[in-house]
A and B are shown apart, each in its own frame.
Chain A
């Protein structure tokens, strides 16, 4: 920083102090403990740009909250003098506690409507536990949220915004060298990118799709144990979870022999649920010829048939609508069929052909009713057109009869006109 810049900054400080004096005089100044002037940026001007957009800077929270010191002082020596609490760059452990000073304080956070259990949760997480055991490789608040440029979570530019979060986790969890120390895989993000969740989030920008924190938690991040996976997936896939608990696999799951959802769908690589799973995953544990596979086959057949019937009936109703037939009642029935077909997807997790067949029967019967109704309407239209034939036959007979009579009258002797009208 050259002499000229310093002069300008010093000038700004004096100007700010002037404004402050006026505000205090008029009672407008906020009565907080935060100093109204941040003289740190006189020397650390390179930080000023980073801080400008940060949520903390916007809220008037200056460097001293994390670094100590007295930003109200005009010289470097006075600002970092003993007694000002100056600590310089905080350690990772200090960062967690420093953030918690405010973020675990209900009185402060209540005003912003932000929860205050992050520090407590963090301490229960694998990251937090390791940190407080002295492992400084693990992530602390600033590793995910940033340091001087912290943005609100809802800001699309934030490193923890749903679309950016998995990349942020990958900064450490994609580091092969670092992960090898903990015997963890470093290719999770690559696998996740190809999964149904990853594609929805990263390609379709669906912020509702599951990312790392959806399953692992965020401040309290821990790898879910084998028995917790169902609960984790069940947060979004509620009906699947509910019906799974009614299935025969629950016992195996409780015994730790079967990892609920993962056993069939996988975890990070989870693909769009497909009926192919019946052919591929059941035989991992069951014989391809056994009764279990047969039951699976029955369910698969019902699902396939229901979807096919829905597709063909939808096409039929659409075509009838194009032909100008009123199809509103059929459209309403079709909605009920769609609901049943959609409900079959979670219901199949009961692995009970009897349960699935209840919906399957409804789908088949309702689609048959719709097909019949459309067929009758088409037939009725066809009959109307067909009725034109006898109608025209009758008309032609009548016209012929009248015409014959007319000709007969004109053939009468003495009825020939001479073209002249006789008048009185």
Chain B
């Protein structure tokens, strides 16, 4: 009875049938036959974004973005507030997982050639979303105001300062002064909790609109004219939604398990007078950070900025008609090479300036990731490979 009353209340005011039809059209929208488990990664990125917003709001209740209070407030969240530790850990792990899931989503799009005509703009917005998520990570990393955060931000903003002509301006703009301090934390906070969430929100809306409007790409080659609309296929609901549900639960489980079993340490409060040894950025910046080390400053910055640029304009560079990866050997080779480069540089970055034990021998890795055997008797080191002289 109530249901009928509500329905008639709305029917008297709005064109309910038309709205129902639109919703039905979206819900039952046919998806191409090639829709796979990997096609759920986009929705998972969205889920992680929502999770970040939700946990972020909870953290905001207690977080204080000042040099004095930031560290203490995060510690308070982790030790005193009800379930605060869980929200902080889920937020921290969510950020890391979001970058992984976004990367995998982009990789799937690259392999299936979905970025090609007519979905170039969807790709460009997607790439922008990925880079903005990295900025999200960079700005959020500083907020707990611990030693690692402080020095990683100092190094990160220093790299920005090396950009020709406007580097110094950018560095000062980011830091709000000569050094990372109270002004920096305010700026990063505003960018992290106000600017980026809204920018990301509107870009996600645009990205999703294009995905729904143009439909999921098939594996067919690019059509010469306008792509025909798909009339039949796998229905979005319930078929694909069931798959998304399964992946969602796995991701949720992984997220909470990591938050509990591998919690992020808060470490020590930032101390501008005490520089820790071997400062490194977060793992997702390591390949870029390592790349810069092998080149002179300007060349390094130029080369590392080429990667993202190529990624953004990829649909306009690769104008091949084929989408099937087996028919795009050059694209696949380049993709694999890029992937290997990222993984290789990331690993070199991870081991650089550390000591590791292999088969009972201790090796020390220099900043270039070159291992040197440490002799047990004296603290001297012996290079296993001829030392690589970095170009000047």
Contacts and interface: CB of A to CB of B under 8 A. Distances in A.
Interface of A: 324, 326, 384-385, 387-388, 391-392, 395, 398-399, 402-403, 405-406, 409, 417, 419-424
Contacts of A406: 239, 242-243, 246
Interface size class of chain B, counting residues whose CB lies under 8 Å from the partner chain? 20 to 34
Nearest to B245: A402
B218 interface: yes
B250 A395 contact: yes
Given A385-B260, A388-B260, A402-B249, A422 B231 contact: yes
Given A402-B249, A421-B233, A422-B231, 10 more contacts: A388-B261, A398-B245, A399-B249, A402-B242, A405-B242, A406-B242, A406-B246, A417-B33, A421-B220, A424-B228
Nearest to B234: A417
A403 B246 CA distance: 7
Interface string B244-258: 011001101100110
Contact of A326 (B75, B232, B238, B250): B75
A384 B262 CA distance: 12
B3 interface: no
11 contacts: A324-B265, A326-B78, A326-B79, A388-B261, A391-B256, A399-B246, A402-B245, A406-B242, A409-B238, A417-B234, A421-B233
Contacts of A385: 260-261
Contacts of B231: 422-424
Contacts of B265: 324
Interface in B144-162: none
Given A324-B263, A409-B238, A423 B245 contact: no
Contacts of A417: 33, 234
A391 B33 contact: no
B32 interface: yes
A393 to B, nearest CB: 10
Contacts of A384: 260
A324 B245 CA distance: 35
B229 interface: yes
A384 B257 CA distance: 10
Contacts of A402: 242, 245-246, 249
B35 to A, nearest CB: 11
Nearest to B256: A391
A370 to B, nearest CB: 16
A403 to B, nearest CB: 6
A422 to B, nearest CB: 4
A388 B249 contact: no
Contacts of A422: 231-233
B230 interface: yes
A159 B33 CA distance: 99
Nearest to B257: A388
B265 to A, nearest CB: 6
Contacts of B260: 384-385, 387-388
B224 to A, nearest CB: 15
A423 B33 contact: no
Contacts of B33: 417, 419-421
Nearest to B263: A324
Contacts of A388: 256-257, 260-261
A398 B244 CA distance: 12
B256 A421 contact: no
Nearest to A410: B239
A388 B253 CA distance: 9
Nearest to B265: A324
A330 to B, nearest CB: 12
A420 B32 CA distance: 9
Interface in B318-372: none
Interface in B39-88: 75, 78-79
Given A384-B260, A402-B245, A409 B239 contact: yes
Nearest to B242: A406
A324 to B, nearest CB: 6
Interface string B205-220: 0000000000000101
A391 B245 contact: no
A402 B233 CA distance: 20
Nearest to B229: A424
A415 to B, nearest CB: 9
Contacts of B228: 423-424
A409 B246 CA distance: 15
Nearest to B261: A385
A377 B276 CA distance: 30
Contacts of B232: 421-422
A96 B28 CA distance: 115
A160 B303 CA distance: 71
B248 to A, nearest CB: 9
Contact of A409 (B75, B78, B242, B257): B242
Nearest to A397: B249
Identify the interface centre among B233, B242, B257, B263: most chain A CB within 10 Å of its CB. B242
Contacts of A392: 253, 257
A292 B10 CA distance: 95
B249 A398 contact: yes
A327 to B, nearest CB: 10
B230 A421 contact: yes
Interface string B88-120: 000000000000000000000000000000000
B256 to A, nearest CB: 6
Contacts of B229: 423-424
Interface in B265-311: 265
